[in-house]
Structure 1
Amino acid sequence: MKRSILLFFITFLVHSVGFSQTTTQYEISFDNAVHHEAEISIHFQNLEEKELEVRMSRTSPGRYALHEFAKNVYAVKAFDGDGNELKITRPNPHQWNVSGHNGTVRFEYTLFANRGDGTYSQIDESHAHLNIPATFAWARNYEHRPIEVTFNVRDDLNWKVATQLRHLEENRYYAPDLDYFLDSPVEIADFFLRDENVDGQTIRMALHTHATEAEVDSYFEKVMAIVHKQRDVFGELPDFDYGEYTFLNCYSPNASGDGMEHRNSTVVSGTKPIDQPLEDYRISTISHEFFHIWNVERIRPASLEPFDFEEANMSGELWFAEGFTSYYTGLILARAGIITEEQYVEVLSGGINFVANSTGRNYFNPIEMSYQAPFVDAARSVDPTNRENTFISYYTYGSVLGLALDLSLRDLDGDLNLDDFMKQMWENYGRDEIPYTIRDIRAELSAYAGKEFSDDFFDNYIYNSKLPDYQRLFDSIGLTFEEANPGRAVLGTSISINNGIGRLQTNAIVGSPIYEAGINRNDEILEIGGALLSEVESVDEILSDYQPGDTISIRTVRTGEERIVDVELVADPSIRTSVNREAESRLAEKRSRWLKSM
């Protein structure tokens, strides 16, 4: 969460010199970790003479959907300062009201936690992986109070604590207020620890995984290569609170794949088998999440300030906050030498294909795609949706727009590039933590590259859903942009075959031959072009004998009724990207400046 350095300094000073200040005290123990339980106690003091409203959060920093963390809280009790049990009522599923107290309340509960990722918590005998909103309750009207938390670690399991919270003593930690507390994940385990000083600040990695010391050393070198290359983009690291930044990495068979940014730390998790070498595991997620310390944590959309822990958080700027960060994810890996230039350029086609060939652009522009986050950002629902046709991830959409903006700037006179524009956003908004709007981005781009350029980019690609001319942009920098499968005929919607019956893998894609033929996801496809699907392994075997424009018959069954339709095949729209090694020298030089950040 956004906090000024001055606030932290004042809070630290008041706390450290011993002035009287009411602090909320938390304590957590893990005696029943084998069954994924923790026992949690919260000590509230100096309360007003009214009901105490204790809540679990419904969402978490870095997430935009609701997650209803109260569902894993039970055995709730409350006591006053004399140890008398107090009455608890439930006004809603997320809250416990405590009445009849004498100004002091000890609130106790049991937490069940068994998902180790960036959103939830996991407790077992390998670790206590704690996302704070999924773990700790809090009280309304007392969010401003400082917090101290004691982690009663399992000494028998050699557990240690890693977190961005300020260390006080032993296993006791401090947060200046609730916002900072809820934004401070914790990994408690027998982890590897590495650190390096960069510009007077400590970059630390706590890595919980099965690996050798040599593997961890090699991995940390790559992490630090990412840190340095990203610092080069912005010209400096942020001033981390307490002068520290911590990677909280958990790669184990019981963890789930995720990455989640926080103000001075990040959680990166993955389901890594014990015997799998560490190598570059989840390294792209490391790149993505660290870039967020500038872009989203400090260069922060006004729509996410303040972050609401009780409702979904909607932002129209995610194409920039998440999408441009996704653009830099792979680019930084190439600049750091973790992947080759050829590897980076070749994967660019994936995002461009996804966006260019998606019908979602007919329904929403990048801003409106960003608005969909509360429905798609790890949200859970059981009713089917039509997102194959209506939605493009703002991560991917924003990434290919970031690519287009970078290459467009580099094609102008004046040595312009996206690195320097991001640095300008950092200097004008991020460094002093001034929340921005979409209009602010447009104004900054106008100041950087001119009003005509900025208006063209925003009017066509942000407020509208037009597609940049990637062919021209790739040509301008010595890259190849070409058909991936010339002459290949397709049906436009993927079909899988199981036990001789074909079914659409998704809803029929709007405008595809399958869609126009009226075939839907519930249909059983028995025969294509006279070939029984029971006699082939894939539909591609059949289509390889046809050309775009050919007509082919498809036999289907729907609710017991057989139907035969004729379908006109279309050309595969996929493109392929690669480095053009025969490009003239001036284009190769431009490409090198881009990929090497020269």
Structure 2
Amino acid sequence: MKSIAQIILLFLTLQYTLAQTNTYSISFENAIHHEAVISATFPEVTTEIFTVQMSRSSPGRYALHEFAKNIYNFKATDSEGNNLVVTRPNPYQWNISGHDGTVTISYTLFADRGDGTYSQIDETHAHLNIPATFMFSPEFSDRKIEVNFRLREDLNWKIATQMPLSNGTTYTAPNLQYFMDSPTELSNFGIREFEVLEKDGRKKNIQFVLHHNGTEEELNTYFEKVKSIVLEEQKVYGELPDFDYNTYTFLACYIPNASGDGMEHRNSTILTSIRSLANGGMKNNLGTVSHEFFHSWNVERIRPKTLEPFNFEEANMSGELWFAEGFTSYYTNLILCRAKLISAEEYVEDLSGTFNYVWNSPARQFFNPIEMSYQAPFVDAATSVDPVNRENTFISYYSYGSILGLALDLSLREKGLNLDDYMKLVWNSFGKKEIPYTIENLKVSLNAYAGKEFGEHFFDKYIYKSQMPDYKSLFATVGVDLIQDDTTPYFGAAIATNDDLFGEIQRNTAIGSPAYIAGLDKGDVITAINNQPFPNGVSFQDFLKKFHIGDELKIDFLRFETIKSTKVRLTTSPNYRTELVEKNGEKPVKKVLNNRKAWLKIE
């Protein structure tokens, strides 16, 4: 039997442990007007001035979002319910003084954007991204957190989250980092789950939660596709991650009031789309499933040192996003092909869009992939009102990294190696052990896997610099043609042809394009071509087909209410298409066909 002293010590320890828990409550009586009422209690406050704040950033995003803008009706009281003095040193912080060691705050949140960054509250659901919803105290970032979600039972709401259930409708998080990384869906959702058996006999649970307006049969069909993605991605790394609490949860909202998005988290992901399963989502929503689940390895556990720990008070800049996001993007459709959810022909032909975007961008003369990654705080759902020149200075690190991942994979396969095994090496060296990595770590790992000469060449040419691999030769090794469109005249400007804006140049013209060389710019309105009125009612691309490469066009245009004139000489289109060689009447030799089968995992 325990002694009285031991029992007293255990009791005091339990009391102290409970006292060190920050408790939250959220209710939705006015959901029809997108409001939630939130309260939080912080015990054992020892500082004279106690600070709470709203996050300025959100896990998986890299820009500032200033969630404090949707907070109002803020109050702070002590343990007796007495009002406390509140001051505001900046837009996202509240300083509270005069407390008695306990501070309780309450406020109203307005939320009406259902995506991976923000929160949305209405009578269909409470879609909660935690940083957009809950205030926090920086000094108590290591404390346990409990949150009681007060359900709208009249709306048949249930709760789905990666946080473990404590009791009733109360869930817990071990600390602030885990809490902020735990999106939560409250709605009348459907749920499916299955167990994945690992080679060592361990079982891991996968849940798919879907809030939608469709049928149970549609959910069943879609869930089988999700399962095939999970199992195909497991093959890349040889195992699933060790999910906390042994469960991974997809939180999907495919509803008309959502905003299309996907956002990875440690043991869950948000998937949002306005496409219902019956209206194209059964196929078109799968890419986000593939991308976000791949992140449970690459970025959540294979984690850049620059993002560890995540900073909720500043923008989070990382030079590794070409790998964390870009290589994940490379695998997104590759996995769908391997899982037989899209055909090899579909996969290959779809590569051309991303390839052309990266290959033809003038931005590579300004930034390499690392520096493109540094741009994330300015582009990752960031907002600004002043015009920018992204068309000429930025390539998405998603696309840039995806095309480099493709090149690395095909280059490794020429040596009898492959990208899957390199990713597996990085996983075992860093991700599985949860050791944050650097770019140098990635290079050293590639040197170890493929040889120093190969690894140094890849990083020196394509990562530290912005040169491009020989894609035509690489594609040929797997029986894919890279064909330039050498018959279509190229003007080099996106021009509106609708009734309201016809003739207006919609975007900055690309450096080096015919339109750019001729001095045309965004906002110019073309009024006549070769002294003929602008051809309203026909697409500009179709109109250009009546001309030939090398033709010179006289362009009259309106700029700042002044008529101007210039000449544009049409050139060959810089765009390429990617096709299986069979489409062009060629039969690949056995070696090439075997290479393709190994790459796409097809028979």
TM-score range, shorter chain: over 0.9
CA gap of 1:276–1:546, structure 2 versus 1, over 3 A, is closer
The TM-score with structure 2 as length reference comes to 0.94
Residue among 571, 581, 588 paired with 1:583: 588
Moved more, 212-221 or 487-496: 487-496
Quote the residue 1:3 is aligned against.
Answer: none
Correspondences of 1:329-478 after superposition (within 5 Å): 329-412=332-415, 415-478=416-479
Distance 2:418 2:103 in 1: 56
Letter aligned with residue 339 of structure 1: I
Is the Cα–Cα contact under 8 Å of residues 308 and 436 in structure 2 kept in the other structure? yes
Distance (whole Å) between structure 1 residues aligned to residue 515 and residue 156 of structure 2: 58
- 8 Å CA contact 1:531–1:542 kept in 2: the answer is no
Matches within 5 A, 1:122-521: 122-199=120-197, 200-272=203-275, 276=279, 278-412=281-415, 415-483=416-484, 485-499=485-499, 501-521=502-522
Distance 1:54-1:597 versus aligned 2 partners, 3 A rule: farther
Q: Aligned-pair distance for 1:271?
A: 1.4
Deviates more, 1:359-368 or 1:551-560: 551-560
- Partner SS, residue 271 of structure 2: strand
Give the Cα–Cα distance (whole angstroms) in 2 for the partners of residues 178 and 140 of structure 1. 9
Distance 1:130 1:541 in 2: 46
**Contact 1:252 / 1:274 at 8 angstroms: preserved in 2?**
no
Distance 2:327 2:493 in 1: 29
Q: Mark the CA change 1:452 to 1:57 in structure 2 (over 3 Å): closer, same or farther.
A: same
Amino acid at match of 1:589: N
Partner SS, residue 370 of structure 1? helix
1:11-30 paired onto structure 2 within 5 Å: 18=14, 20-21=16-17, 22-30=20-28
Question: How many angstroms does 1:429 deviate by?
Answer: 0.3
**Cα distance, 1:487 vs structure 2:** 1.5
Displacement of 1:47 in angstroms is 0.9
Report how far residue 282 of structure 1 moved.
Answer: 1.3
Deviations 1:555-586 (A, max 9, x none): 11223332222221110111111112311111
Distance (whole Å) between structure 1 residues aligned to residue 276 and residue 241 of structure 2:
35
Instruction: Write the letter of the residue equivalent to 2:565.
Output: I
Opposite residue 296 of structure 2, the aligned amino acid is I
1:361-418 Cα offsets, whole Å, 9 max, x none, are 1111100000000000000111100000100000000000000000000011xx2000
Secondary structure of the residue aligned to 2:565 is: strand
CA distance in 2, matches of 1:516, 1:324: 35
**Cα drift, residue 542 of structure 1:** 3.4
When the two structures are aligned, how many residues end up with a matched partner?
A: 581
Describe the superposition over 1:165-220 as per-residue Cα deviations: whole angstroms up to 9, x where unpaired.
Answer: 01111111010000000000000000001000112111001100011111101111
**Partner amino acid, structure 2, of 1:131:** N
1:532 deviates by: 1.7
Q: Counterparts of 1:273 and 1:449 in 2: how far apart (Å)?
A: 44
Paired amino acid for 1:532: P
- 1:352 deviation in Å? 0.7
Q: Distance in 2 between matches of 1:77 and 1:370?
A: 40
Quote the offset at 1:550 in angstroms: 1.9
Task: Name the aligned partner's letter for residue 460 of structure 2.
Answer: D
Counterpart in 2 of 1:10? none
1:106 aligned counterpart, secondary structure:
strand
Name the residue aligned to 1:554: 555
Distance in structure 1 (CA, Å) of the matches to 2:95 and 2:245 = 35
Of 488-497 and 367-376, more deviation after overlay is shown by 488-497
- TM superposition shift of 1:438: 0.5
Gaps of 5+ in 1: 1-13
Evaluate the alpha carbon distance shift between residue 426 and residue 570 of structure 1 in structure 2; reply closer, same or farther with a 3 A threshold. Answer: same
CA distance in 2: counterparts of 1:281 and 1:481, whole angstroms: 25
Q: Distance in 2 between matches of 1:89 and 1:18?
A: 34
Q: What residue is the counterpart of 2:33 in the other structure?
A: 35
* Structure 2 counterpart of 1:4: none
Comparing 302-311 with 486-495, greater Cα deviation is found at 486-495
Structure 2: where are the runs of 5+ without partners?
A: 1-9, 198-202
1:301 CA displacement = 0.3
For the aligned residue pairs, the C-alpha RMSD in angstroms reads: 1.6
Q: 1:521 is aligned with what amino acid?
A: K
- More displaced stretch, 190-199 vs 500-509: 500-509
Q: For residue 95 of structure 1, what is the aligned residue in structure 2?
A: 93
Matches of 1:461 and 1:365, distance apart in 2: 8
Q: How far did 1:19 drift? A: 6.7
1-structure distance, mates of 2:190, 2:498:
45
In 1, distance between residues paired with 2:524 and 2:233? Answer: 49
Report if aligned partners of 1:164, 1:245 keep a CA contact under 8 Å in 2. Answer: yes
Q: Distance in 2 between matches of 1:459 and 1:534?
A: 48
CA contact (8 A) 1:526 1:557 kept: yes
Equivalent residue, structure 1, for 2:116? 118
Contact 2:495 2:502 in 1 (8 A): no
Alpha carbons 2:497, 2:536 under 8 Å: kept: no
* Corresponding residue for residue 527 of structure 2: 526
Name the CA distance, whole Å, in 2 between partners of 1:219 and 1:233. Answer: 22
TM-score of the two chains, using structure 1 as the length reference: 0.95
2:510 is paired with a residue of what secondary structure?
coil
Q: Secondary structure, in 3 states, of the residue corresponding to 1:239? A: coil
Q: Does the 8 Å CA contact 2:302/2:437 hold for their aligned counterparts? A: yes
Shift of 1:99: 0.4
Residue pair 1:526, 1:534 contacting (<8 A) in 2 also: no
State the match for 1:592 in structure 2.
597
Following superposition, the deviation at residue 275 of structure 1 comes to 6.6
User: How far apart, CA to CA, are the structure 1 residues paired with 2:417 and 2:155?
Assistant: 54
**Cα shift at 1:543:** 1.9
CA contact (8 A) 2:146 2:173 kept: yes
CA contact (8 A) 2:276 2:282 kept: no
Q: Secondary structure at the match of 1:456?
A: helix
Between 508-517 and 523-532, report the one with greater CA deviation: 523-532
